[in-house]
Amino acid sequence: MRNVTGEQFTQVDNPDPFASPVWRSPVYRTPEAVIWIVQLLRALFRLLRFAVRHPVLDAVCAGVAMLWINAGWAVVAGLAGGVLAGLTLLRAIRPDCFARFVGTPARCRWRWWFYRRHWHAVMTITRLAPAYQGRIMLPVLGRVAATGFVDRVSVALVSGQSPADFANRAEGLAHGFRAHLGRVRTNVPGTVVLELVRRDALAEPMPALPVPHEVNLRALPVGRCEDGSTFAVRLHGTHLLIAGATGAGKGSYLWGMVRAMLPAMADGLACVNACDPKLMELAFGRALFDRYGRYAADAADIAELLEDAVSDMQLRARLFAGRQRDHRPTSEYPFTVVIVDEIAFLTAYQADRKLKDRTLAALATLTTQGRAVGYCVVAALQDPRKEVLNIRNLFPDKIALRLDEPGQADMVLGDGARDRGARCEEISSNPAVGAGVGFVRLETDPDPVRVRAAYVSDEEIRAMAAAYAPPTALRVLAGGEAG
C-alpha cells in the first residue's frame, strides 16, 4: 500500500468526533520564480497587444519621448500648453467639432472604465453571472456610448441568458451603476443594450421651440428626448395617437406640431383641420385653422368635416392611382393633418348614435387609406380602453403620457411596453415636473423612448396667430369668399 502523507491528503477539521472523514485534494506548491516569470510574460503580452491596437498613441508617445531626449522638458511642456490652448480655442469656436472628436470619445472611454471597475460586483450581486462547471460566467462588457445624460452599454449575453433576465433586474442594475433609471433594449441576437440615465434631461419644463425655417414633415421638432437630443415627430406617412390623463400635457404636443408646420402652412404645402369638441384647447388659435384649414367644434360640424376629408382623400386616390405611390406635398395637393382633440367624446360619449357612427366610420377610413395620399390623423384622448376607441390599433405611432393605471401603458403602446420601461403611471402629476413627459413608440421601433414636449404658452399661440393669420388677412379672405 502506498504511503500518503498529511501534506497530500488532510482531513477537514470537524468538531464532531463521529463524523465521516472528508478529504481535501492534493496541494502542489508552485515555485515563486515560475509565478514571477508567468506574470511578466503576461504583462509583456498585454503591452504588446495594446501597442498593436493603438498605433497612433504609440507614435505620439514615441515622438514625445524623442523630443524630451533631444530638446529637453521645457519644449515638451510648451508643446503640451499649445495643445491645451488649441483644444480650448476649438471648444469655444467649434463646440460641435470639439464634442465629436474630443469630448464624446473621452466621455465614452471614461464611462467604459467606470463600468469595467464595477462590472464584476454588480453582475454577481444581481445574479446575472451564472456558475458553470465551477466557473463564474460573466456577461461581456462591450462598447459604451455616453451622452451628457444617458449611457448606452452594449452587453454580450452568456449562453442561455435572455434579454428578459436583464429586464427583470433593471432596477438593481441602475442602482448598482449609480443611475436614476435603467432600461434594457434588445439588439442583435445574443446582445442587449443597457440604457442608464445618469441625469434627467426632462426634469425642467422646456420653453417653446423656435419656428423652423425649413419644415420636414417627417421630423417636426416638438421637444426633447431623454438623452438630450431633439424629439421630432413624424406626421407624413403615418397617424399619431396621444393618450394621457387630465393635465398630462396633450396640448403641448398638439400645439408643438402646429408650430413646427407654420412655414409649410404659410407656403400652402400643409393645412390643418381642427376638431375641438371640448371648445378649449384648439379654439385658442382658431384664426390659424380658419386660414390654413378648417375648424369645427359642434359634433355635427365635426362629422361633416371628417366626411369632407374622406371625400377629398378618395378623390386624390383616384387621381394618383397608377401615377404615384407616395405623396409629395404641393400647393394643389397639400399635406393635410386632421387633429381631433378628446376623440372619446366623438366615438364613445356621443349621445347621438348616428353622429357617432358617421364620425367613427370617417375616422376609420382616414386612418386606413389616408397615409399614401397625404392625410394624417392626430388624435388625443384620456381613456385608452378599447371600448372607448376601438380603432386605436389603426394608429401606427403612439405617445403615452401620464396614465392612471399600470395596465394602460400596454393598451396605448402595445403589449410589453411597460416591461420595457414605459411606466406611465409613475410620471409626476405636478405640472412643473410631469406635464408633457411621456413615452413614444414608433411603428419601426418596439422600444418606448421617454420624451418631453416643449410648452407652448398662451402668449406664444397669440403671437403665432398674429404673425401667420393676422386679422387683416382674415378680413380680405372673408371678403373674397363673399364676393
pLDDT in tens, 233-255: 999 999 999 999 988 999 999 99
- pTM greater than the 0.85 cutoff: no
Q: What is the mean pLDDT of residues 264-283?
A: 90
Give residue 445's pLDDT: 79
Give residue 14's pLDDT: 61
Q: Give the pLDDT band (50/70/90) at residue 340.
A: very high
pLDDT at 193 over 90: yes
CA dist 45 and 51 (Å) reads 10
Q: Give the pLDDT band (50/70/90) at residue 135.
A: confident
CA dist 174 and 256 (Å) reads 32
Higher pLDDT: 418 or 263? It is 263
Question: pLDDT tens digits, residue range 45-70?
Answer: 988 888 888 787 778 788 888 877 88
**What is the dotted CATH code of the domain comprising 220-475?**
3.40.50.300
pLDDT at 477 over 80: no
Strand, coil or helix: 195: strand
pLDDT at 4 over 50: no
Estimate the share of the chain in helix, then strand, then coil, as percent rounded to the nearest 5.
Answer: 45, 20, 35
Q: What is the mean pLDDT of residues 251-273?
A: 94
Give residue 13's pLDDT: 60
Q: How far is CA 261 from CA 239, 296, 470, in A?
A: 16, 20, 17
pLDDT at 258 over 90: yes
Give residue 8's pLDDT: 44
Q: How far is CA 225 from CA 32, 107, 201, 395, 412, in A?
A: 57, 20, 8, 21, 19
Q: What is the mean pLDDT of residues 381-405?
A: 89
Tell whether domain 110-199 is in CATH 3.30.980.40: yes
CA dist 398 and 410 (Å) reads 11
Amino acid symbol at 276: D
Q: What proportion of the chain, given as a percentage, has pLDDT over 70?
A: 92
Q: Give the pLDDT band (50/70/90) at residue 22.
A: low
CA dist 10 and 25 (Å) reads 8
Give the residue extent of every domain in the chain: 110-199, 220-475
